[in-house]
Amino acid sequence: MLPERVRDSLRRAGDVARPVRYYGKARFCPACGKSSCCFRPYGIDPRQEPRGDAECVHCGALERHRLLWLFVSTRTDLFDGAAKKMLHIAPEPCLESRFKQALGDNYLSADLYDARAMVKMDITNIEYPDQSFDVIHCSQVLQYVQDDRKAMSEVCRALKSDGWAVLHEPITAEKTSQNPSIAEPEGRPGTGWHDIVWSYGPDFADRLREAGFSVEVIKINDLVQNDEAIRMGLTSAAGEIYYCTK
């Protein structure tokens, strides 16, 4: 209800006050390279309390984003200077700008519903030729897709034979199961906790292998020691990275 100029002023005031409120060195975000006394709470599921110490106050990176950035920047060739075409499915704002800055015209973001993405794309029908991309990143998308096996196969098909993909899904069950109450009417947005189709278990890696991938499961302690994990806010909420090659 406030005039736009007033809202702009309030936003600017918040941007100025935030670094002061969160000033400190106890937490470090590997995605933006900035420190704070803590991360702020985050949560969108009304069934649960917001997670404390979760979201970077500077760039908005959550646990899984920080883990992903740490992995790709230290354990992959993404930023070695060689040209690589990257497909970023359902781009997260805290990562999108950084990937785009590093890769330039070789970066492509895609989403079925988000108008910010560069192209509209259904992950079960990636309308690009076989072996089009050197790198594909897809985080917390497959759990919303009815035919997730088709989506995995499409990602595999579109990936170059010497390329790699990172697929990231929360592991919340002992064994993968489908939500029996889910319905998918035409145009279902599929962007909230209530739209989740799949609860994945550790056999998620096997589903990826069946789609044609070789899979390496990367855990937090594969990348950093415990004290650094605490400083970066890499808790169990960060999950695991599924590093996929062909």
Of 153, 162, 154, the C-alpha closest to 134 is: 162
Which letter does DSSP use for residue 94 in this model? H
- Per-residue pLDDT 10s for the chain (246 aa) are 556 554 444 454 455 555 678 889 999 999 999 999 999 999 877 677 889 999 999 999 999 999 999 999 999 999 999 999 999 999 999 999 999 999 999 999 999 999 999 999 999 999 999 999 999 999 999 999 999 999 999 999 999 999 999 999 999 999 999 987 655 444 344 445 568 999 999 999 999 999 999 999 999 999 999 999 999 999 999 999 999 999
How far apart CA 233 and CA 226 sit, in angstroms, is 10
How far apart CA 226 and CA 99 sit, in angstroms, is 27
In a domain, 16, yes or no: no
Between 63-75 and 93-103, two packed helices, what is the crossing angle to 10 degrees? 20
In a domain, 44, yes or no: no
Paired with 137 in beta bridges are: 88, 166
Number of domains present in the structure of the chain: 1
CA-atom Rg of the chain in angstroms: 19
How confident is the model at residue 48, as a pLDDT? 75
Q: Can you give the CATH number for the domain in which 134 is found?
A: 3.40.50.150
Which letter does DSSP use for residue 123 in this model? T
In a domain, 188, yes or no: yes
β-strands 34-36, 27-29: how paired? antiparallel
Q: What type of residue is 45?
A: D
In a domain, 30, yes or no: no
In a domain, 57, yes or no: no
In a domain, 151, yes or no: yes
Q: How many CB atoms lie within 10 A of CB 49?
A: 9
Of 150, 148, 145, the C-alpha closest to 125 is: 150
Q: Quote the strand ranges of 179-229, DSSP E.
A: 198-199, 214-218
Of 188, 183, 145, the C-alpha closest to 167 is: 145
In a domain, 38, yes or no: no
**Domain boundaries, position 183:** 62-245
In a domain, 236, yes or no: yes
Helix (H) or strand (E) holding 120: strand 119-120
Q: What type of residue is 216?
A: E
